[in-house]
Structure 1
Amino acid sequence: MEQQTEQSCIICGQLKQEGIVIVSHFICEDCESEMVRTDAEDIKYRFFIGRMKKIGLQKNA
């Protein structure tokens, strides 16, 4: 079995092994799960959007 290397999550900043990579930026499994469950009206939703902008996923105007 191959050993995965730890990567720094762009949301929480912690080193984790499990998660997803979007446009070469790592999001840990915990943050991914929390983002999916967060309601758009929740204050944390804006935090997640701000972090995601780091990887250039905002819509083109």
Structure 2
Amino acid sequence: MSKSDHGETCIICEESKTEGIHLYTKFLCADCEKKIICTSTSDPQYSDYVKKLKSLRTPPLYS
């Protein structure tokens, strides 16, 4: 079975999902993407999202 049959682990909810986007080398499920977009910056949950998204780093460039 292919990787997409089982899904990938979301960096926010840490659940295995099949639909979402890739940000560099990490996966963000469609559900969490919607939650992040709709969350107000004054909401306490927003800071949790930011902390988890900080795990995203631009991959190193090898020359």
User: How many residues are aligned here?
Assistant: 55
Shift of 1:49: 0.2
Which residue of structure 1 aligns with residue 23 of structure 2? 22
Percent identity for Structure 1 against Structure 2: 31
> Which residues of structure 1 form unaligned runs of 5+?
none
Once residues 55 and 44 of structure 1 are traced to their aligned partners in structure 2, the CA distance between those partners, rounded to angstroms, is 18
Shift of 1:13: 0.3
Please show how residues 40-55 of structure 1 align to structure 2 within 5 Å. 40-55=41-56
SS in structure 2 of the partner of residue 45 of structure 1: helix
Q: Which runs of 4+ in 1 moved over 4 A?
A: none
Shift of 1:16: 0.2
Which residue of structure 1 aligns with residue 14 of structure 2? 13
Q: RMSD of the TM alignment (CA)?
A: 1.6
Deviations 1:6-58 (A, max 9, x none): 1000000000000000011000000000000000000000000000000127x
Once residues 56 and 35 of structure 1 are traced to their aligned partners in structure 2, the CA distance between those partners, rounded to angstroms, is 18
